Chains A and B, each alone.
Chain A
Amino acid sequence: QVRLKESGPRLVQPSQTLSVTCTVSGFSVTSYHVSWVRQPPGKGLEWVGAIWKGGSTDYNSALKSRLSISRDTSKNQVFLKMNSLQTDDTGTYYCAKHYNNYYFDYWGQGVMVTVSS
């Protein structure tokens, strides 16, 4: 059974770094791409970036300078790191498994991150 679960801090101070882990089961991160998608409270979805099954990455150009996505294949985990956080980075961060490269068929439950002092 495919599952993704995000874990990370619920509260981050402005200018600090966010670190979120996505632990997957039911598939291998070396066989399927995984993306991060975020959603500010009450708003729409924004693609953050992806780590492809081969290990390369692509980032949303609007966030690229602050973003890093990596993985640990032995633990089947994907990591999101975003630095210099501001209040408009507040939102729910989801990891999602790709389907046919371009879409997302399984999503984690999300982790709600608040950026506040």
Chain B
Amino acid sequence: DIQMTQSPHSLSASLGETVSIECLASEGISNYLAWYQQKPGKSPQLLIYYASSLQDGVPSRFSGSGSGTQYSLKISNMQPEDEGVYYCQQGYKYPYTFGAGTKLELK
């Protein structure tokens, strides 16, 4: 199985700050990488797919980049509603696998 290693495990950001979350795949995944946001008690929400494509309705302050085995999610201009846990997911090979999650809090 492809292992997805996310970092950091948690972080806190001030209002308006820019943050980045990293995801490292154990092998190349050809940009078949998605990012999700999950808020407490809620289902995950798709933010980014194909590493850098923004899902409809997701604010443009979210952006994704990367290639090969290394990917990142950038959140510009941190807002209170961005608090939550962020997961990366590879769709390159079965079984689809997720990172362990990064908890983002407002400082």
Contact = CB atoms under 8 A, between A and B. Distances in A.
Interface residues of B, number: 23
Interface in B72-107: 87, 89, 91-92, 94-101
Interface residues of A, number: 22
Contact of B46 (A58, A60, A103): A103
A15 interface: no
Contacts of B97: 47
B100 A102 contact: no
B34 interface: yes
B41 to A, nearest CB: 9
A101 B91 contact: yes
A99 B56 CA distance: 12
**Residue of B46, B55, B95, B100 contacting most chain A CB atoms (<10 Å):** B95
Interface string A97-117: 001111111011110000000
Nearest to B97: A47
A46 interface: yes
Contacts of A47: 95-98
Contact of A105 (B55, B92, B100): B55
A56 interface: no
Task: State the 6 A-B residue pairs at the shortest beta-carbon distance, nearest first.
Answer: A102-B91, A107-B43, A47-B96, A60-B95, A45-B98, A103-B34
Interface of B: 1, 32, 34, 36, 43-46, 49-50, 55, 87, 89, 91-92, 94-101
